[in-house]
Amino acid sequence: MTNKFRANTLPYILSIIGGLVLFDVIARVANQPYFPKMSSVFVRMYELLTDGAVISDFNRSLQNLFLGFALSVIFGILFGVLCGRYATVERTLRPYINLMLTSPSILFVPIYFAVFGISRWAIIVLIIDYSVFFLIVSVQTAIQSVSKETVEMSAVFGATDKQTLRLIYLPSALPMIFTALRVTVGRAVKGMINGELFIAVIGIGARSQSFARQLDMVGVFALAFIVVGIALILGGVLNTFDKRVNSWATGATTRA
């Protein structure tokens, strides 16, 4: 067992195991139907993951999630960079970004439903609503945190705006951008579930609603744990990619 594993991965694993054990202890002490035991939840999770109809629901939901998240990343990074680099763009978009950040995303569900009906695009737009404005602000902050001395030095050596963006701004901002992306994944999952609950009752949201109507709390918790697991896996993938892409930053920090 390496020191890196003990320092980084082991506490993470032990924390999850400890949380599951605590959940099970509380469920056994409470002995209430709305608080199922972990053994029952794990059995139901296995049943759900081996049920073809449930897998079809997950496929449909994940397609919406990935498409909504991908569009959020594209527009979030694009407008975040523009807002971070150009004050005029930032001042122009600031009222709208602040409006969307401070307003509950669920408030716009009737509008999305009226425009897109019960099509998948209503859910995808809600996922983007949950994700893109947070990402814009985070990318803007990352760009604005780049050392002004470094930017000025590049201008002295004759670097163009495109070269400064490609060689100075983006590499320096990448660590903060990846941190924002990990948070954005969680917000996108929330948007997916809320969209399937309140706009088009399909996919994972429809399955969860069905369990709730039947007062099947084992099914509700099993589905919730699976969704949380998906979010954690996606966050872990981004974290691994982050470490590979930004290994230079870690090395520079260590040497400093």
Query: pLDDT higher for 125 or 14?
Result: 125
Q: For residue 48, give the nearest of 231, 233, 196, 225 by alpha carbon.
A: 225
Mean pLDDT calculated for residue range 134-155: 87
Interval 207-224: pLDDT, tens: 888 888 888 888 888 888
- Is the per-residue pLDDT at 252 higher than 50? no
3-state SS, one letter per residue, for 57-92: HHHHHHHHHHHHHHHHHHHHHHHHHHHHHCHHHHHH
Of 41-45, 147-151, 162-166, 242-246, the range with the highest mean pLDDT is: 41-45
Q: Parse the chain into domains and list their residue ranges.
A: 55-205
Q: For residue 105, give the nearest of 77, 78, 128, 72 by alpha carbon.
A: 128
Query: So what's the pLDDT on residue 254?
Result: 40
- Is the per-residue pLDDT at 1 higher than 60? no
Query: Domain 55-205 belongs to what topology?
Result: MetI-like fold (1.10.3720)
Query: So what's the pLDDT on residue 135?
Result: 94
Mean pLDDT calculated for residue range 143-164: 82
CA 247, 253, 254, 255 dihedral sign is: positive
Question: What's at 88, amino acid-wise?
Answer: T
- Is the per-residue pLDDT at 255 higher than 50? no
Query: So what's the pLDDT on residue 200?
Result: 64
Query: pLDDT higher for 252 or 41?
Result: 41
What mean pLDDT is reported for the chain? 84
